[in-house]
Structure 1
């Protein structure tokens, strides 16, 4: 009589593979979608879509970048579907409601009043300027400059060459810098009237 080794159920195997990556998937989805509910829906859609493909999932060597690529492609598909439903700008589809200022999440040092004034002016200006960038530009800047992703990982997830990531990142930073300078440029004081 042969004894067959115990094989965990499909749902347990799936949970063991995906569960350790759910937080990272959610953070990435939030960066893409910009809203908590949309990010949760995006991750849920990906998980539901992947469950029947457990065998394929088990054969993936580096699961985290692979899962992020699936999240990204699902997001692009959703944006395209919504875009076909009506001709609205992409920023309207993604929305900005419910977004927290990512600058507020950074730790601050004890600084003097001059620097505090500059930071109080810079934060809102940076938020306004970030919203003028395209969603792709914002995503790239958030992934690399805020979340600290390596360019190689971004290239793998977005399925584009490393050189393209580097050039896009350079252009995004240049655009951000230019727009931020215009935003923070002091206005000329009004001349005195009178004689």
Structure 2
């Protein structure tokens, strides 16, 4: 049974398919790109590429994961074209409007002065360490640990096996942990003992 009693225009059919997924696509693009303008451009590029392929789009059973996979591939292609690494502080990746909410969610019930001081000390260190990770590593950590995406969904979007997601996530966390330890516990240079 046809969804429409008449054949709507190509533009209307495309809009009906894609419109419900635009907000989720933008959020994903923002996590990948790190800036509002780059995320908007990324989503726009994907939409422009998909419009001529409406028939293929209509045949996709689960459109949201498929769209996110296309978005991710477009992002990777852009990085390869630019041949540079996108380094953004965590505060930019989270976004200024949601940053306060996200940081507040990390607060414990006993948020005394010691906790506040430690948090102020760790924030910039975490930003610096996250900036040293590759875009793929950062995206994986942020999607899973910050946004709460399930590993199965990440595997589907990135088009990699679930075991690969698990092992990459484990390696990313281990790398992050080592870098944080180096930043937070610097070893002072050993000098000669003065006589």
Q: TM-score, normalised by structure 2?
A: 0.84
1:87 counterpart residue number: none
Equivalent residue, structure 1, for 2:149 = 149
- 1:33–1:39 contact (8 Å) kept in structure 2: yes
**8 Å CA contact retained: 1:35, 1:99:** no
What is the CA distance between 1:98 and its match in structure 2?
A: 10
CA RMSD of aligned residues (A): 2.6
- The CA distance in 2 between the partners of 1:37 and 1:131, in whole Å, is 19
For the structure 1 residues 98 and 47, does the alpha-carbon distance in structure 2 shift closer, same or farther, using more than 3 Å as the test?
farther
Match for residue 137 of structure 1? Answer: 137
Structure 1 partner of 2:116: 116
Alignment of 1:156-167 (within 5 A): 156-167=156-167
Q: Distance in 2 between matches of 1:19 and 1:97?
A: 31
- 1:96 lines up with 2:88 in the alignment: yes
- Choose 156-165 or 100-109, whichever is displaced more: 100-109
Q: Which runs of 4+ in 1 moved over 4 A?
A: none
Does 1:182 find its partner at 2:174? no
Aligned residues: 182
1:30-73 CA distances to partner (integer Å, 9 max, x unpaired)? 11111211111110000011111111111111111100000011
TM-score (norm 1): 0.84
Distance 1:20 1:38 in 2: 21
The DSSP-based 3-state class of the residue aligned with 1:52 is helix
Are 1:35 and 1:97, in contact at CA under 8 Å, matched by a contact in 2?
no
